[in-house]
């Protein structure tokens, strides 16, 4: 028997009568009662701030300058010639690519190794998950010390005769060091999500594939890989958003440096511009561009990745 | 427990959590007796300014003024200005705060402008003024930077006296390097400010020496960062790095680690503010630490310094009188001033004040160096440390730190770094 895995079927169009019944007064009442609290919270704490930001982004608002003027789309035009913002987009893109690829690949490999029963494997799962629950500030402080000029890693390299490396001081290396730290912390999340995906794969499919003569690689390619697709989708989208929002690690480890903008992500530049330079109108425009990029990237990733998800 | 009581308990717990989540700073301490006006006081901690230092200093005042109760707030990092802005934005602006940049916090709107009659005890009553108004008590002078050096390393390298000209400084650096010592300890890390000290020195010798009001001119748009003198100041810093006199890897060290690097002998010279004298005197090597002023090309004496750095009071404080009374008492209290000298090596700019006896050799040498330059009228402003009308625009200080790191690390030429500063200035203006 060959495992038959169908790609997710398109949702059948509901008959018009059914659609009409969905919006009967009784349904509406139920919807209102159950959805209203959530909608209220979402409206107050998500939609309203976004709308307020849109308003600010069309002004030169500075909390310490009483003369706020409407500037139209000037802030948005400036963004695309602003070297600092463009550099931050490049930094964020590099960080995002690393953070999407590295924990996903390593996470899947580790999950495959840990997808077994027993206290030994449970203990290892806990080991990999611990960094996820640690405060990012704590993780940043620990890694800053490890990667410091006179830190443990350079001392080991020194003993090995390799010589010390400017992990956080060399502009060409610092961003990758930062990406490594973030990937290390998020690895456990990817492992757990992949483990959940792997444990939902029916054993019968592996048995059937084995009977058909499939080796380990073929079983992975034809059974495991298609069925962990939802886990890949979740991990990719979460890593994408994590990378775009990256701020706290940067603040603690490099403060955007060394030098100008070496590790300054969009989120970091937004906060610096808004709360250090006090240019909150301009920072709002940056934040909204960032929102559009995250939303677009997430939607595209979801669309592309869900295409290859399968249903049993 | 009835359903109603359970619900009430749940609501109360929820409310408690919500209120707890909104409380400012976890690290708050109350000081003072039960009654009287309560004021909040924003402090920050460094290796010199410990929690015990602040608690004792506050208690000294509340013991004398029992009608004032003080709730101490602690900024989460040395960036107290950034934290003060957060508190302001969330309606929790402290009543009294220390060394928050008035120019960045909207002084005219948010800070109380001290009246001349209240500043009678201060040596420089108009120090740090913004448009003629003083918002920050001009309590202390700090010389920024001094060059602290290890006497033993100088001796080992055959340097018999501290350099008095820039050529001698370079010569000493070459000798130190030849002996295997890193000539300069220059850090950075998350605070980034340790990187700027060499630039503060070279701006003093190349720019401020000729035009003491250069920053006023920059604010007026009469000069730019791409002017040859400023580019030369950046070039001198770049040259120290390209000649191997600054270890680029140390740029990742934060302030505390940079200080330790010097104290542990990882470099022979340490350009740093006079506050380092406190740490130097607490160290085991205090007898081995000397100090000199960053030399000019022709050997003319020059020392950058900043006077200000004191307490500020919120203009909208509910207990404005108590806040003012506390701030003035705190700054003029002899014991507090003595402790600021011992703990943070400050030079109180208070009339009739003289430091206590028995201070360490590093402080004494630093203080004498300052006194010598005061007598010789060779004091200039300390670039990037100004806080009044002559300060950098909001947000520019971080750009200057980054520009300095760019030239040290070879990420930008001095010309490009200066050009970038002008671009950032035009954005901030």
> Is A89 a domain residue?
yes
- B403-415: pLDDT as tens digits: 999 999 999 999 9
Number of domains chain A contains = 1
Separation in Å, CA of A42 to nearest CA in chain B? 18
Superfamily of domain B145-272+392-428: Periplasmic binding protein-like II (3.40.190.10)
Q: Which two tokens stand for residue B338?
A: 């003595």
Q: Which of A149, A251, A272 to mutate to test the interface with B (most CBs of B within 10 A)?
A: A149
* DSSP-based three-state secondary structure for B303: strand
Q: How many of the other CB atoms lie within 10 Å of CB of B64?
A: 10
> Is A198 a domain residue?
yes
Separation in Å, CA of A270 to nearest CA in chain B? 12
**Residues A168, A254 contacting (CB under 8 angstroms):** yes
> Is A270 a domain residue?
yes
More confident residue, B41 or B46: B41
> Closest partner residue to A171 among B105, B110, B411, by Cβ?
B411
H helix count then E strand count, chain B: 16, 12
Supply the pLDDT for residue B157. 97
> Is A33 a domain residue?
no
Supply the pLDDT for residue A85. 94
The CATH number of residue A111's host domain is 1.10.3720.10
Each of the 312 residues of chain A gets a pLDDT tens digit; together they read 444 444 554 444 555 555 555 678 888 888 888 999 999 999 999 999 999 999 999 999 988 877 889 999 999 999 999 999 999 999 999 999 999 999 999 999 999 999 888 899 989 999 999 999 999 999 999 999 999 888 899 999 999 988 889 999 999 999 999 999 999 999 999 999 999 999 989 989 999 999 988 888 999 999 999 999 999 999 999 999 999 999 999 999 999 989 999 999 999 999 989 988 889 999 999 999 999 999 999 999 988 888 877 766
Torsion A203-A209-A211-A213 (CA) sign: negative
Q: Return d(Cα B364, Cα B356) in angstroms, integer.
A: 11
Query: What's the length of chain A?
Result: 312
> Is A57 a domain residue?
no
Report the mean per-residue pLDDT for chain B: 90
Residues in B 166-195 with any Cβ partner in A closer than 8 A: 188-192
- B373-427: pLDDT as tens digits: 999 999 999 999 998 888 999 889 999 999 999 999 999 999 999 999 999 999 8
Q: Return d(Cα B175, Cα B243) in angstroms, integer.
A: 12
Residues above pLDDT 70, as percent of chain B: 92
- B249-272: pLDDT as tens digits: 999 898 989 999 999 999 999 999
Q: Which two tokens stand for residue B188?
A: 């950075």
Would you call A67 an interface residue with chain B, using a CB distance cutoff of 8 Å?
no
Separation in Å, CA of B335 to nearest CA in chain A? 35
CA angle, A300 then A302 then A308, to 5°: 110
**Residues A236, A104 contacting (CB under 8 angstroms):** yes
Tell me if B395 and A164 make a contact (CB, 8 A cut-off).
Answer: no
Q: For residue B187, is pLDDT > 90?
A: yes
Q: For residue B58, is pLDDT > 90?
A: yes
> Is A265 a domain residue?
yes
Query: What separation in angstroms does the CA of B399 have from each of A14, A150, A259?
Result: 59, 27, 9
More confident residue, B429 or B210: B210
Q: Count of A–B CB contacts within 8 Å?
A: 117
Whether complex ipTM tops 0.95:
no
More confident residue, B3 or A252: A252
Of B130, B146, B49, whose CA–CA distance to B386 is shortest?
B130
Supply the pLDDT for residue B27. 52
Supply the pLDDT for residue B29. 60
More confident residue, B79 or B38: B38
A110: Cβ contacts below 8 Å, ≥ 6 apart? A128, A187, A191, A194
Which range of residues forms the domain containing residue A259? Answer: 82-311
> Is A142 a domain residue?
yes
DSSP A15-60: PHHHHHHHTSHHHHHHHHHHHHHHHHHHIIIIIHHHHHHHHHHTBT
Looking at chain B, the domain(s) classified CATH 3.40.190.10 span: 21-141+308-359, 145-272+392-428
Q: Which of B86, B190, B414 to mutate to test the interface with A (most CBs of A within 10 A)?
A: B190
Tell me if A277 and B394 make a contact (CB, 8 A cut-off).
Answer: yes
CATH number of the B21-141+308-359 domain? 3.40.190.10
Q: Return d(Cα A42, Cα B380) in angstroms, integer.
A: 55
Q: Return d(Cα B52, Cα B71) in angstroms, integer.
A: 14
Asked if the peptide bond before residue B91 counts as cis, ω within 30 degrees of 0, the response is no
Q: Which two tokens stand for residue A251?
A: 């603040």
> Is A3 a domain residue?
no
> Closest partner residue to A64 among B109, B247, B399, by Cβ?
B109
Sheet of strand B269-272: strand arrangement: B269-272, B146-150, B289-293
Q: For residue B336, is pLDDT > 50?
A: yes
Would you call B376 an interface residue with chain A, using a CB distance cutoff of 8 Å?
no
Residue of A nearest to B250 (CA): A149
What residue has token string 């604010």? Answer: B219
Angle (deg, nearest 10), helices A280-307 and A266-275 = 160
Rounded to 10 degrees, the C-alpha dihedral B70/B75/B79/B80 comes to -20
Mean pLDDT across B197-221? 96
């Amino acid at each position: 028997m060959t495992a038959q895995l169908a790609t997710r079927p398109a949702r059948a169009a509901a008959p018009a009568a059914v659609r009409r019944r969905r919006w009967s007064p009784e349904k509406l009442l139920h919807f209102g009662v159950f959805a209203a609290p959530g909608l209220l919270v979402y409206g107050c704490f998500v939609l309203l701030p976004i709308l307020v930001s849109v308003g600010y982004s069309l002004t030169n608002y500075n909390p310490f300058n009483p003369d706020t003027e409407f500037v139209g789309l000037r802030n948005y035009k400036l963004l695309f010639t602003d070297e600092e913002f463009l550099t931050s987009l490049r930094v964020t893109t590099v960080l995002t690519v690393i953070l999407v690829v590295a924990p996903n690949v390593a996470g899947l490999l580790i999950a495959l190794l840990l997808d077994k029963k027993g206290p030994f494997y449970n203990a290892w799962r806990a080991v990999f998950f611990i960094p996820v629950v640690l405060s990012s500030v704590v993780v940043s402080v620990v890694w800053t010390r490890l990667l410091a000029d006179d830190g443990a890693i350079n001392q080991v390299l020194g003993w090995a005769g390799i010589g010390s490396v400017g992990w956080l001081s060399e502009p060409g290396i610092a961003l990758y060091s930062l990406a490594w730290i973030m990937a290390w912390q998020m690895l456990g999340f990817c492992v757990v999500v992949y483990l959940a995906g792997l444990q939902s794969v029916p054993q019968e499919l592996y048995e059937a594939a084995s009977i058909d003569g499939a080796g380990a690689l073929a079983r992975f390619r034809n059974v495991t890989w298609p069925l962990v697709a939802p886990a890949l989708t979740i991990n990719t989208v979460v890593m994408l958003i994590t990378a775009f929002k990256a701020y706290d690690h940067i603040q603690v480890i490099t403060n955007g440096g060394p030098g100008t903008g070496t590790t300054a992500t969009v989120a970091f530049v937004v906060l610096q511009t808004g709360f250090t330079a006090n240019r909150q109108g301009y920072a709002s425009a940056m934040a909204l561009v960032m929102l559009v990029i995250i939303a677009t990237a997430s939607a595209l990733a979801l669309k592309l990745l869900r295409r290859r998800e399968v249903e049993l | 427990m009835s359903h109603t009581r359970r619900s009430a308990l749940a609501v109360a717990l929820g409310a408690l959590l919500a209120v707890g989540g909104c409380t400012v700073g976890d690290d708050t301490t109350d000081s003072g007796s039960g009654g009287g006006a309560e004021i909040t006081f924003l402090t920050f901690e460094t290796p010199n300014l410990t929690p015990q230092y602040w608690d004792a200093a506050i208690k000294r005042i509340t013991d004398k003024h029992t009608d004032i109760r003080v709730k101490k707030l602690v900024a989460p990092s040395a960036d107290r200005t950034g934290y003060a802005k957060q508190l302001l934005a969330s309606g929790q602006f402290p009543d009294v705060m220390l060394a928050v940049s008035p120019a960045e916090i909207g002084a005219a709107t948010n800070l109380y402008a001290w009246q001349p009659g209240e500043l009678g005890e201060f040596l420089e009553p108009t120090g740090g003024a913004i448009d003629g108004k003083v918002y920050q008590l001009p309590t202390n002078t700090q010389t920024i930077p001094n060059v602290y050096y290890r006497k033993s390393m100088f001796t080992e390298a055959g340097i018999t006296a501290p350099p008095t000209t820039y050529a001698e400084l370079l010569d000493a650096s070459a000798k130190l390097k030849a002996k295997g010592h890193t000539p300069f300890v220059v850090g950075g890390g998350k605070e980034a400010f340790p990187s700027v000290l060499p630039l503060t020195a070279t701006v003093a010798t190349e720019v401020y020496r000729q035009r003491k009001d250069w920053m006023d001119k920059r604010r007026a748009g009469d000069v730019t960062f791409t002017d040859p003198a400023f580019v030369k100041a950046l070039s001198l810093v770049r040259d120290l790095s390209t000649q191997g006199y600054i270890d680029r890897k140390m740029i990742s060290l934060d302030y505390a680690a940079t200080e330790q690097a010097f104290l542990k002998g990882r470099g022979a010279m340490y350009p740093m503010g006079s506050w380092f004298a406190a740490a130097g005197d607490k160290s085991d090597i205090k007898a081995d630490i000397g100090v000199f002023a960053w030399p000019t090309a022709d050997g003319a004496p020059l020392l950058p310094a900043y006077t200000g750095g004191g307490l500020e009071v919120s203009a909208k404080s509910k207990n404005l009188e108590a806040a003012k009374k506390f701030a003035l008492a705190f700054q003029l209290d002899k014991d507090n001033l003595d402790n600021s000298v011992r703990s943070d090596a400050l030079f109180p700019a208070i009339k009739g004040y003289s430091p206590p006896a028995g201070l360490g050799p590093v402080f004494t040498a630093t203080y004498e160096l300052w006194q010598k330059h005061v007598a010789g009228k060779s004091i200039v402003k300390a670039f990037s440390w100004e806080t009044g009308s002559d300060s950098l625009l909001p947000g520019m200080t971080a750009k200057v730190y980054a520009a300095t790191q760019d030239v040290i690390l070879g990420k930008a030429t001095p010309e490009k770094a200066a050009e970038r500063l002008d671009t950032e200035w035009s954005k901030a203006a």
